[in-house]
Amino acid sequence: MTDTLAAATSAPRATVTQERKIVTSIPGPKSQELHARRMAVVPPGVSSALPVYIDRAHGAIVVDVDGNQFIDLGAGIGVTTVGHTEAGVTAAAAGQLDDFLHTLFTITPYEEYVRVAELLAEHTPGDHAKRTVLVNSGAEAVENGVKIARKYTGRRAVAVLDHAYHGRTNLTMAMNYKAAPYATGFGPFAGDVFHAPSSYPYHDGLTGAEAAARTIAYLEKRIGAVDLACLVVEPIQGEGGFMVPADGYLNALQDWCTANGVVFIADEIQSGMARTGAYWASEHFGLVPDLLLSAKGIAGGLPLAGVTGRAEIMDAALPGGLGGTFGGNPVAAAAAIAVFEAIEQHDLLAEGRRIEKKLKTRLTELQDRYDIIGEVRGIGAMVAIELVAPGTADTTKEPNAAAVSALAAHAAANGVIILTAGTYGNVLRFLPSLSASDELLDDALDVLAEGFAAL
Ligand SMILES: *Cc1c(COP(=O)(O)O)cnc(C)c1O
């Protein structure tokens, strides 16, 4: 440990009070020093939204190396959903550290992997027989979902929706909507990936039935069901800007998939694991996905991801066709079991609904005052506002990325981490930990309100 960090890291994380506190300019001197070191050894392709270097974190607060405390409304993009350093999660991971760190499940297996698969089977929609394969990242879960769907159907094509985000591997780069920065210059890309129109009620004004008819027409005409292995959808799009599809849209897509032998895959990597006041966003729409992809929040901060799905589909891959060296790492799996326990013990699904109410009440008040807030949307602790140019909220809805950047910068300078999103960069998204109290959220939203006043 360097001298710079020694002083700051001496305080245990239990001393992290759940309050905002700014004691230096942002970024502070120690962060600036670390940032200079980082720029010498880490390429700019790995960027950071906010170059403050974190020393410790607990609940909904992260503390930087200069002693500034930030209210974290991003949770590492919906990863620390149960809270930073949740006591049960850290205890489970620590316990597993003492037992063993690695054997490789495909050589000599262990119970933690099996237990995570049981919990995912129990807590995902549908009471059919299910299987789960565990991997390391969301993109890897997407890759495996597509592999499995292709093997099961014997078909080649993959369909995704406009404004989707699925990852940074070669296949998933081809599945994202946005070229820059995710795909620019990184080709050639995987073929047979088709981008179908989605449901974006604020912009398209279509009912669920109308939007579904448009999507299905594309799938039938541009691809043809006989060649389509799977349709991959985020029930609520994450990076795209938290679009909640119109009523009935996703159900119509699932019905069409079922009728045509197409595997319906829900990418719940951002929307899942208690993020929306239900275990999975699919539940809000009454969906029963054939395959459900999880990652981000499932292990409380440790890297873990899964593909959970119908036994007959999951069983299609040959023995040895699925897996990987670190997939279902025992420490990450132990943490995931503790995340499920925390959700049950602390009734975290109810916390998601509380947070939705708080965020939507405050953001709707702001919308009444500032006409650049075109829409307040989302479910549970997954809420966003879309910002438009003055006077266009009910007409052309011109994206206002400048206001989003200014507001995120104002928030950061005042101790609140707010993430941006949206194909046009004009969405502020709120995905706090479920441990964020109403008091803390009010404080964060007061800072945001000051930001609006200052625009
Ligand atoms: C983050 C994300 C991914 C990719 O997950 P990684 O762990 O970053 O590979 C895929 N799909 C969605 C919806 C995501 O939000």
Ligand 1 centroid distance, CA of 102 (Å): 24
d(CA 88, CA 93): 9
Report the atom number in ligand 1 closest to the C-alpha of 267: 13
Residue ID of nearest Cα to ligand 1 atom 6: 138
| Site of tokens 């949307």 | 377
Total residue count of the chain as it appears in this document: 455
Label residues 80-106 b or e (16+ Cβ within 10 Å = b).
Answer: bbbbbbbebbbebbeebeeeeeeeebe
Q: Give every residue of the chain whose pLDDT is below 50, as ranges.
A: 1-10
Q: Note the pLDDT of residue 5.
A: 42
Report the atom number in ligand 1 closest to the C-alpha of 137: 7
Ligand 1 centroid distance, CA of 293 (Å): 10
- Give the contacts of 321 (CB within 8 A, at least 6 positions apart): 147, 151
Tokens at 86, concatenated: 């949740």
Determine the residue of 134, 140, 166 to mutate for testing ligand 1's pocket, defined as the one with the most ligand atoms within 8 A of the Cβ atom. 166
d(CA 360, CA 379): 9
The predicted-structure confidence for 424-446, as pLDDT tens digits, reads as follows 999 999 999 999 999 999 999 99
Selection from 297, 437, 298, 419 nearest residue 359 by Cα: 437
- Name every protein residue with a CB atom under 6 angstroms from any ligand 1 atom: 137-139, 142, 165-167, 234, 238, 267, 269-270, 295-296
Q: Note the pLDDT of residue 103.
A: 98
Determine the residue of 140, 269, 307 to mutate for testing ligand 1's pocket, defined as the one with the most ligand atoms within 8 A of the Cβ atom. 269
The pLDDT > 70 percentage for the chain reads 97
Q: Which one-letter amino acid corresponds to residue 287?
A: L
Q: Note the pLDDT of residue 6.
A: 41
Domain definitions of the chain by residue range: 3-85+347-454, 89-345
Determine the residue of 236, 296, 382, 427 to mutate for testing ligand 1's pocket, defined as the one with the most ligand atoms within 8 A of the Cβ atom. 296
Selection from 264, 273, 368, 379 nearest residue 310 by Cα: 264
CA dihedral 118, 119, 123, 125 (to 10 degrees): -30
Residue ID of nearest Cα to ligand 1 atom 11: 166
User: CB atoms < 10 A from the CB of 261, how many?
Assistant: 14
Ligand 1 centroid distance, CA of 289 (Å): 18
d(CA 380, CA 352): 5
CB-based contact 343:82 (threshold 8 Å)? yes
Report the atom number in ligand 1 closest to the C-alpha of 139: 9
Architecture in CATH for domain 89-345:
3-Layer(aba) Sandwich (3.40)
User: CB atoms < 10 A from the CB of 324, how many?
Assistant: 15
d(CA 246, CA 210): 9
d(CA 292, CA 132): 9
Selection from 326, 46, 43 nearest residue 168 by Cα: 46
Tokens at 413, concatenated: 């300078």
Selection from 312, 314, 330, 334 nearest residue 322 by Cα: 314
Which DSSP string do the residues of 48-117 spell out, in sequence order? -SS---EEEEEBTEEEETTS-EEEESSHHHHT-TT-BT-HHHHHHHHHHHHH-S---TTTS--HHHHHHH
The predicted-structure confidence for 245-268, as pLDDT tens digits, reads as follows 999 999 999 999 999 999 999 999
Report the atom number in ligand 1 closest to the C-alpha of 169: 9
Report the atom number in ligand 1 closest to the C-alpha of 295: 7
Determine the residue of 134, 165, 294, 382 to mutate for testing ligand 1's pocket, defined as the one with the most ligand atoms within 8 A of the Cβ atom. 165
Look at the pTM and tell me if it is higher than 0.85.
yes
d(CA 310, CA 288): 10
- Give the contacts of 256 (CB within 8 A, at least 6 positions apart): 212, 216, 219, 262
d(CA 5, CA 90): 22
Ligand 1 centroid distance, CA of 25 (Å): 32
For residue 356, the surrounding DSSP H or E stretch is helix 348-369
Ligand 1 centroid distance, CA of 138 (Å): 4
Selection from 429, 389, 335 nearest residue 74 by Cα: 429
For residue 38, the surrounding DSSP H or E stretch is helix 29-41
Q: Which CATH number fits domain 3-85+347-454: 1.10.3720.10, 3.40.50.410, 1.20.1250.20, 3.90.1150.10?
A: 3.90.1150.10
Q: Note the pLDDT of residue 15.
A: 77
Ligand 1 centroid distance, CA of 141 (Å): 9
Report the atom number in ligand 1 closest to the C-alpha of 234: 13
Report the atom number in ligand 1 closest to the C-alpha of 268: 13
Q: Note the pLDDT of residue 398.
A: 98
The predicted-structure confidence for 185-196, as pLDDT tens digits, reads as follows 999 999 999 999
Residue ID of nearest Cα to ligand 1 atom 10: 166
Ligand 1 centroid distance, CA of 24 (Å): 33
CB-based contact 338:297 (threshold 8 Å)? no
